[in-house]
Amino acid sequence: MTSNSIDFHKIAGDLNNRYKEHVYSKNQQDYTELVKIYRDLVVKSPLGRQLPQLFNSIFKYEDPLAQEAALDVIDLGKIYQGVDERTKKQEEQGDTLDIKYGYTDFIVMELLKWFKHDFFKWVNEPETSTLQGKARLIRVEPPTALESQDGNASSVEVYQCEGDGSIIRFPRYNDPVKLLETKKGRCGEWANCFCLILRSMGIRTRYVWNAEDHVWCEIYSESQKRWIHIDSCEESFDNPTLYNKGWGKKMSYVISYSIDGTQDVSKRYVVDKDKSLPRNKINELDLQKILRFLTVNQRRNLGKDEIYKLSIEDSIEKLELNGQKPIYLQSDIVQPRQSGNDEWKEKRGEDGK
Start-to-end Cα distance in the chain: 69
Which of 175, 231, 238, 260 is catalytic? The answer is 231
State yes or no: is 231 an active-site residue.
yes
Q: Are 239 and 328 in contact (CB under 8 A)?
A: yes
Question: Alpha-carbon distance 316 to 53, whole Å?
Answer: 27
Question: Alpha-carbon distance 4 to 175, whole Å?
Answer: 66
Q: Are 155 and 140 in contact (CB under 8 A)?
A: yes
Listed as own residue / partner, the contacts of 181-189 with beta carbons closer than 8 Å and 24 or more positions apart are 182/151, 183/119, 183/120, 183/121, 184/120, 184/121, 184/122, 184/123, 185/120, 185/122, 185/123, 186/122, 186/123, 186/233, 186/339, 186/340, 187/214, 187/215, 187/216, 187/233, 187/339, 188/215, 189/120
Q: Are 231 and 339 in contact (CB under 8 A)?
A: no
Angle between helices 187-200 and 64-73 (to 10 degrees): 100
Q: Compute CA 111 distance to the chain's CA centroid, rounded to the nearest angstrom.
A: 15
Residue 158: strand pairing partners: 139, 169
**Other Cβ atoms within 10 Å of 341 Cβ, number:** 11
State yes or no: is 117 an active-site residue.
no
Q: Are 172 and 153 in contact (CB under 8 A)?
A: yes
Which of 175, 214, 217, 260 is catalytic? The answer is 214
Closest by CA to 180, choosing from 188, 172, 189, 171, is 189
Which of 30, 161, 175, 187 is catalytic? The answer is 187
Cβ contacts of 190 within 8 Å, gap of 6 or more = 115, 120, 122, 232, 233, 339
Closest by CA to 183, choosing from 70, 345, 62, 58, is 70
Residue 156: strand pairing partners: 141, 171
The residue type at 21: E
Q: Supply the residues annotated as catalytic.
A: 187, 214, 231
